[in-house]
Amino acid sequence: MTRIVLVRHAPTPETGSKLTGRLPGVGLGPAGEELARAAATALADSSPRAIVTSPVQRCVETAAIIAEHHRVDPEVDPGFEEVDFGRWQGRTLASLRKLKAWRAVQLAPSRFRFPDGESFVEVQARATDALERLANRSGTVIVCSHADVIKLIISHHLGQPLDAFQRIGIAPASISVLDLEPGLPARVLAVNGRSLP
Mean pLDDT per 10-residue run, the chain (197 residues)? 97 97 96 98 96 98 97 97 98 97 96 98 98 92 98 97 97 98 92 96
Instruction: Output the pLDDT for position 22.
Output: 98
Question: What are the angstrom distances between the C-alpha of 50 and each of 46, 110, 170?
Answer: 11, 31, 22
Residue 18 CA to residue 71 CA, distance in Å, equals: 34
Instruction: Output the pLDDT for position 53.
Output: 98
Instruction: Output the pLDDT for position 182.
Output: 82
Q: At CA 181, angle to CA 178 and CA 186, rounded to 5?
A: 40
Contact 10, 173 (CB under 8 A): yes
Residue 53 CA to residue 6 CA, distance in Å, equals: 10
Average pLDDT, the chain: 97
Contact 1, 138 (CB under 8 A): yes
Instruction: Output the pLDDT for position 137.
Output: 86
Residue 45 CA to residue 30 CA, distance in Å, equals: 24
Residue 116 CA to residue 36 CA, distance in Å, equals: 32
Contact 4, 178 (CB under 8 A): yes
Residue 102 CA to residue 185 CA, distance in Å, equals: 33
- Structural domains in the chain? 2-193 (3.40.50.1240)
Q: Where are the alpha helices (DSSP H) in 97-191?
A: 101-107, 120-134, 147-158
pLDDT tens sequence across 115-146: 999 999 999 999 999 999 999 888 999 999 99
